């Protein structure tokens, strides 16, 4: 089996510029950065994707990401940060290890994260929304939250016209 590059980095067999480390997670500078301060955060144990993390580990990695982003903003003086996480080859996952990219952003930089907005009929919009809402029903029960947050009901969803959603939130790739 081919050696996983991030397992090599985690075990320090492969040298890297470490910017954060604890018992379970590590963050390094990307050697091919999109911008100065481009950081990669990953679990030290080999995990293919977020689906291999426990809920506790998931909380921890996003907690750490949040803190790293705060410091990236202070240190690099960037005006924004993209948190990029790709699951699967089709989405651009190029290594077999789960990694989060923390990319400092500035107006007019050379980073492009973009897509062509697709035309979807009102019917298709409603269908996919209903299917997803149904599939997502059990999430709130799984997530350990002290406070119950307001969740959109199917009745409320039906009142929203997809055309209005499109109008309210135009997808301008350059702005996200």
Residues that bind Zn ion (CB under 5 A): 4, 6-7, 46, 97
CB of 4 to Zn ion, least distance (A): 3
Of 19 and 98, which has the nearer Cβ to Zn ion? 98
Find the distance separating the first CA and the last CA of the chain, reported in whole Å: 38
On whether the CB atoms of residues 121 and 93 are closer than 8 A, the answer is no
Angle at CA 133, nearest 5°, toward 131 and 134?
65
CB of 96 to Zn ion, least distance (A): 6
Of 4 and 84, which has the nearer Cβ to Zn ion? 4
**How far apart (Å, rounded) are the C-alpha atoms in residues 73 and 81?**
8
Of 8 and 33, which has the nearer Cβ to Zn ion? 8
CB of 89 to Zn ion, least distance (A): 16
Please give the residue whose beta carbon sits closest to Zn ion in the complex: 4
CB of 78 to Zn ion, least distance (A): 28
Of 7 and 160, which has the nearer Cβ to Zn ion? 7
In what side-by-side order are the strands of the sheet with 18-21?
Answer: 18-21, 25-29, 39-43, 100-105, 80-84
């Amino acid at each position: 089996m081919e050696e996983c590059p991030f397992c090599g980095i985690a075990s320090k067999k492969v040298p890297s510029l470490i910017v954060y480390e604890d018992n379970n997670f590590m963050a390094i500078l990307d050697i091919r950065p999109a911008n100065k301060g481009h950081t990669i955060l990953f679990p030290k144990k080999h995990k293919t994707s977020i689906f291999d993390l426990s809920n506790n580990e998931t909380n921890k990695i996003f907690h750490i990401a949040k803190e790293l982003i705060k410091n990236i903003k202070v240190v690099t003086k960037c005006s924004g940060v993209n948190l990029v996480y790709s699951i699967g080859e089709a989405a651009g996952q190029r290594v077999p290890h789960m990694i989060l990219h923390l990319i400092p952003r500035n107006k007019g930089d050379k980073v492009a994260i973009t897509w062509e907005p697709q035309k979807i009929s009102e019917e298709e919009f409603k269908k996919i929304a209903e299917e997803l809402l149904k599939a997502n029903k059990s999430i709130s029960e799984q997530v350990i939250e002290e406070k119950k947050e307001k969740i959109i009901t199917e009745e409320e969803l039906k009142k929203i016209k997809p055309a209005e959603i499109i109008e309210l939130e135009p997808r301008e790739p350059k702005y996200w």
